């Protein structure tokens, strides 16, 4: 049993370029092109322990499809099929079912390997899948009680600069800078605006709000935001419950005067926001719609919602 830190379990193996290798053998050369220039893409995928004790990956196919879309956007030729990469995720967990009995976070990554240097270089594409036990990204307390967020001084890039349909490694420097600024300022997470000043998303999550009239809103995909798979799941959950959701532009001050704000993402799952820019959101506690989404989502990933069982791929 190994860990990336004293408290985080991680896989003893890595699926690397079609082979299962030991963790310490999952190495790349210092001249790897992606290390220098950021040309790569990745996914974050969760596997949950379901109510009957089995392990199931949440929306595996959708994540693999987005990974391949991201590679296509980056003009990286994939050396494996979608089926092979999906099977690699399954094989990694099958090989260590006991280690990940309570769930796992999977990280498939695609990147340009070593060889030629320079911006015009075209080197072989490398693919890896790793796994570790990653708890609540913004903390268990954050899931229960909500977090403090700060609108960042950094801006989400224009859609012709930031390839928003891709989950591309180099683009995350923008998120890292925003996240660090927020944490150093005493907040849990950053909210980024687009170049027009409208709310885009958090550093690694999509955003929803509920206004005083009970209308649920989330920024549209025409904004510079990731087409989040958890976001899509929440839209489905809300609409299936008979609630309407408006995918519209949102102003910064709308966050100050609404009743509820919550983030969605594979790592963050469903995290309430209790404060934005030192202003309390609603009552300062997770609201009823946030609680409904949380409860339904966690029931779904644990196989307790029959209408969403097709989201689960069992190990």
Residue 100: Cβ within 10 Å count: 24
**Own/partner pairs, 92-95, CB within 8 angstroms, 24+ separation:** 92/11, 92/13, 92/14, 92/15, 92/20, 92/129, 92/130, 92/131, 93/47, 93/55, 93/57, 93/131, 93/315, 94/315, 95/13, 95/20
- List residues with catalytic annotation: 167
Residue 38: Cβ within 10 Å count: 16
Q: Find, among 150, 97, 114, 153, the residue nearest to 36 by Cα.
A: 114
């Amino acid at each position: 049993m190994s860990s990336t830190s004293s408290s985080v379990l991680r896989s003893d193996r890595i699926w690397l370029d079609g082979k299962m290798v030991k963790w310490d053998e999952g190495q790349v050369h210092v001249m790897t092109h992606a290390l220098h220039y950021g040309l790569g893409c990745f996914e974050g995928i969760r596997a949950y322990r379901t109510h009957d004790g089995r392990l199931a990956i949440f929306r595996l196919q959708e994540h693999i499809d987005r990974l391949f879309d991201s590679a296509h956007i980056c003009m990286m030729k994939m050396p494996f099929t979608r089926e092979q990469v999906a099977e690699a995720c399954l094989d990694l967990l099958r090989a260590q079912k006991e280690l990940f009995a309570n769930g796992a976070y999977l990280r498939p990554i695609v990147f340009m390997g070593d060889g030629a240097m320079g911006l015009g270089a075209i080197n072989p594409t490398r693919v890896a899948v790793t796994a570790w036990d990653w708890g609540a990204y913004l903390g268990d307390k954050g899931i229960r009680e909500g977090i403090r967020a700060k609108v960042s001084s950094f801006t989400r890039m224009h859609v012709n600069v930031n390839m928003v349909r891709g989950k591309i490694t180099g683009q995350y420097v923008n998120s890292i800078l925003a996240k660090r600024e927020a944490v150093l300022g005493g907040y849990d997470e950053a909210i980024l605006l687009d170049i027009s000043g409208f709310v885009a998303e958090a550093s690694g999550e999509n955003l929803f709000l509920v206004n005083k009239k009970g209308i649920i809103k989330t920024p549209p995909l025409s904004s510079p935001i990731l087409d989040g798979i958890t976001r899509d799941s929440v839209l489905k959950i809300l609409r299936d419950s008979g609630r309407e959701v408006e995918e519209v532009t949102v102003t910064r001050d709308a966050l100050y005067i609404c009743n509820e704000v919550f983030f969605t993402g594979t790592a963050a799952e469903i995290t309430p926001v209790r404060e934005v820019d030192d202003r309390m959101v609603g009552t300062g506690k997770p609201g009823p719609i946030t609680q409904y989404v949380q409860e339904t989502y966690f029931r779904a990933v644990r196989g307790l919602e029959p209408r969403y069982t097709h989201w689960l791929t069992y190990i």
